[in-house]
Structure 1
Amino acid sequence: MHDKKKAHPAIKSQLHPRNKHRQRYDFPALINSCPELQTFVAPNKYGDLSIDFFNPAAVLCLNKALLKHFYHIQDWKIPKHNLCPPIPGRVDYIHYLADLLASSNAGSIPRGNKVRCLDVGVGANCVYPLVGSSEYAWSFVGSDIDSDSLRSAGLIIAANPQLSSNIELRLQRRSQHIFQGMIQADDCFVATLCNPPFHASQAEALAGTQRKQSNLKASASNQKKLNFGGQSNELWCKGGELSFVKNMISESQLFATQSLWFTSLISKEANLKGVYQALKREGALQVETIKMGQGQKVSRFVAWTFVKPNEHASWLQAALTK
């Protein structure tokens, strides 16, 4: 006998209206696209098909199936120690970024490979470029300080020749910098995006994961596992998220004319005050905070620009005709 089933909404309304993951997972359809997912799918205690979200291999395979089923991404895989991101949340960032660009383009989302974005910390998973290229045909430069992560991302790109001309990878050899060395003299981006390291240390990252798992009533045997994997440069850095983003803001001013919008996820709401202070100090002319939601989690990204609002349309038009 199954436990009493909780009522689940038919639509995950907190996700962006264009997000393809607003429906509950259709596991038979996902298995049809990615047969290896079958190994991990079984009825849960309510009698619904699901996977064990505390099993890293199961989450990895679900991501592979989602990317293949909805975005036609072939042979997506990452090393075991790298960050395995929740796809629906990553997709939301891309769609809300598209809306932000539309606000600078008379309400129309710019599409095509002339729309160039810089993904800071592209990682081994390469998710933002894959989704942005698939959904809007944007082109991306993906930067990272880890050569192994870029090697993994490169293998994914090579397996998807329909996207390969839209995604370029660059190794950041100076880990203390973010845009310096990555934005070249002839580069022009409509936006930059980033999923910054959240924590200030490995111990803080582990403590945060343990709190999340405790809230989800995880078993004691799972308490030491990171939900979605991840290594040092992906999960923590000296000073944590706020320090990283403040450094990003400082460097963005040096490239004020080479990107219309600079954006970054801000995981911790308490960091917003420091972010706004840094943006004011660097002279940002417009700042937007875009809220996003996934399940019970509320996230957001902050966007800023050094281009005058009345010049956005002409700036964007010039960038798209280069």
Structure 2
Amino acid sequence: MAQKSKKIHTEKTSLHARNLHRERYDFEELINSQSELSKFVFINPFGDKSIDFANPDAVKALNKALLKHFYGIIYWDIPDGYLCPPIPGRADYIHYIADLLASVNDEKFPVGKEVKVLDIGVGANCVYPIVGHREYGWSFTGSDVDPVSINSARQIIDKNPSLEGAIDIRLQTSSKHIFKGIIQPAEIFDVTICNPPFHASLAEAQAGTKRKLTNLGLKSGAKPTLNFGGQNAELWVEGGEEAFIRQMVRESAEIANQCLWFTSLISKKTTLPGVYAELKKVNAFNVKTVEMAQGQKVSRFVAWTFLDKETQKKWANERFGK
């Protein structure tokens, strides 16, 4: 981790206080961890070291370095064309989830393998389980509808001894269901997380990629790579993220007592009213919207529980201990 005395003026104060990525990337240290990153690093017009964030190979090399340097991951790779996520933002969601669990546990975030987390749409990258296990020691189950993603995630786990026994990967065989077929009848989870596909169609996903490329200063003639990697199931779903999350809400009501908190990231503010309406229909006991800021981008997740205050407290006492 970069030394704060040298980089205090570059601290990213918008990130969560426990996020290991609050300081600007120390490319010298990252290259020491992952030498292949060196060929992608250059001096930008401001005199700082950087990479081309529109180059999927450069972003993949950066992720390998970050995961090795900060989380001890000796092997990490994804198939060509699959989503290569920004690690700092992924870590933020995990840290805010820890705060959510702490909110029912006398403000003490629970640690250890007894804490069970379900990651809906774990993806080929398996980043949320990696960060959550390495930071808090939690046990994860990751589900996905894509067999290639499932195989990739399993390979990452198998090739990292530090992840052994910590992450279970399950194939969702029905594209119409989210929890059904994944959570077993007597199975308990403390929290579910999800980064849902947020576009409603392939065309919408491609338009979003063009905007991102423009924001990064690429010429309009540049060949776009969908979201710098990303398969259909990762980027779009019929009805967009609102339809997906509303289905998640409906299914969560059927397993109301098997999970303390259900959560999902929400990319678009316009999605919120529909999700709130669905949560009202299923009589969720408590609903929270948590905002997270990464630089100029503001993201958020919605969390809901069907358990009343007394049951929440009992759950925390029994499962998290003191």
Q: Counterpart of 2:10 in 1: which secondary structure? A: coil
Of 11-20 and 219-228, more deviation after overlay is shown by 219-228
Structure 2 counterpart of 1:238, which letter? Answer: E
Structure 2 counterpart of 1:306, which letter? Answer: F
Query: Aligned equivalents of 1:144 and 1:319: distance in 2?
Result: 27
Alpha-carbon distance, 1:160 to partner:
1.1
Query: Aligned equivalents of 2:225 and 2:160: distance in 1?
Result: 31
Which residue of the partner structure matches residue 25 of structure 2? 25
Which residue of the partner structure matches residue 259 of structure 1? 259
Which residue of the partner structure matches residue 98 of structure 2? 98
Which residue of the partner structure matches residue 3 of structure 2? none
Which residue of the partner structure matches residue 237 of structure 1? 237
Q: Counterpart of 2:275 in 1: which secondary structure? A: helix
CA contact (8 A) 1:54 1:222 kept: no
Give ranges in structure 1 of 5+ residues lacking alignment: 1-7
Asked if 1:122 is matched to 2:95, the reply is no
Which residue of the partner structure matches residue 13 of structure 2? 13
Which residue of the partner structure matches residue 177 of structure 2? 177
Change (3 A) 1:13 1:223: farther
Alpha-carbon distance, 1:315 to partner:
1.1
CA contact (8 A) 1:190 1:316 kept: no
Q: Which whole-Å deviations, capped at 9, do the CAs of 1:203-242 have from their partners, x for residues lacking one?
A: 0001111122223322234352224210100000000000
Q: Counterpart of 2:24 in 1: which secondary structure? A: coil
Alpha-carbon distance, 1:33 to partner:
0.6
Query: Aligned equivalents of 1:223 and 1:297: distance in 2?
Result: 25
Q: Counterpart of 1:220 in 2: which secondary structure? A: coil
Query: Aligned equivalents of 1:224 and 1:31: distance in 2?
Result: 27
Q: Counterpart of 1:73 in 2: which secondary structure? A: coil
TM-score, structure 1 as length reference: 0.95
- Counting only pairs closer than 5 Å after superposition, residues 282-321 of structure 1 correspond to structure 2 as 282-320=282-320
Query: Aligned equivalents of 2:80 and 2:293: distance in 1?
Result: 27
Q: Counterpart of 1:292 in 2: which secondary structure? A: strand
Which residue of the partner structure matches residue 189 of structure 2? 189
Query: Aligned equivalents of 2:26 and 2:156: distance in 1?
Result: 25
Asked if 1:56 is matched to 2:56, the reply is yes
Q: Counterpart of 2:279 in 1: which secondary structure? A: helix
Alpha-carbon distance, 1:256 to partner:
0.4
Q: Which whole-Å deviations, capped at 9, do the CAs of 1:1-35 have from their partners, x for residues lacking one?
A: xxxxxxx9511111000001110000000000111
Query: Aligned equivalents of 2:295 and 2:154: distance in 1?
Result: 32
Query: Aligned equivalents of 2:258 and 2:319: distance in 1?
Result: 9
Asked if 1:211 is matched to 2:211, the reply is yes
Which residue of the partner structure matches residue 5 of structure 2? none
Alpha-carbon distance, 1:75 to partner:
1.1
Which residue of the partner structure matches residue 43 of structure 1? 43
CA contact (8 A) 2:55 2:228 kept: no
Structure 2 counterpart of 1:18, which letter? Answer: R
Q: Counterpart of 1:222 in 2: which secondary structure? A: coil
Alpha-carbon distance, 1:317 to partner:
2.8
Structure 1 counterpart of 2:157, which letter? Answer: I
Alpha-carbon distance, 1:296 to partner:
1.2
Alpha-carbon distance, 1:186 to partner:
2.3
Which residue of the partner structure matches residue 164 of structure 1? 164
- Figure out how many residues of one structure are paired with residues of the other and give that number: 314
Segments ≥4 residues shifted beyond 4 Å? none
Which residue of the partner structure matches residue 4 of structure 1? none
Q: Counterpart of 2:302 in 1: which secondary structure? A: strand
CA contact (8 A) 1:286 1:309 kept: no
CA contact (8 A) 2:213 2:224 kept: no
Q: Which whole-Å deviations, capped at 9, do the CAs of 1:21-67 have from their partners, x for residues lacking one?
A: 11000000000011111111111112211111111100011011000
Which residue of the partner structure matches residue 5 of structure 1? none
Which residue of the partner structure matches residue 74 of structure 1? 74
Q: Counterpart of 2:299 in 1: which secondary structure? A: strand
Q: Counterpart of 1:318 in 2: which secondary structure? A: helix
Which residue of the partner structure matches residue 142 of structure 2? 142
CA contact (8 A) 2:122 2:144 kept: yes
Structure 2 counterpart of 1:294, which letter? Answer: Q
Give ranges in structure 2 of 5+ residues lacking alignment: 1-7
Query: Aligned equivalents of 1:246 and 1:29: distance in 2?
Result: 43
Of 158-167 and 134-143, more deviation after overlay is shown by 158-167
Q: Which whole-Å deviations, capped at 9, do the CAs of 1:233-258 have from their partners, x for residues lacking one?
A: 00000000000000000000001000
Structure 1 counterpart of 2:103, which letter? Answer: S
Q: Which whole-Å deviations, capped at 9, do the CAs of 1:143-168 have from their partners, x for residues lacking one?
A: 01111111000110011122121100
Query: Aligned equivalents of 1:310 and 1:295: distance in 2?
Result: 38
Which residue of the partner structure matches residue 83 of structure 2? 83
Give percent identity, aligned residues only.
Answer: 57
Of 310-319 and 279-288, more deviation after overlay is shown by 310-319
Query: Aligned equivalents of 1:217 and 1:137: distance in 2?
Result: 40
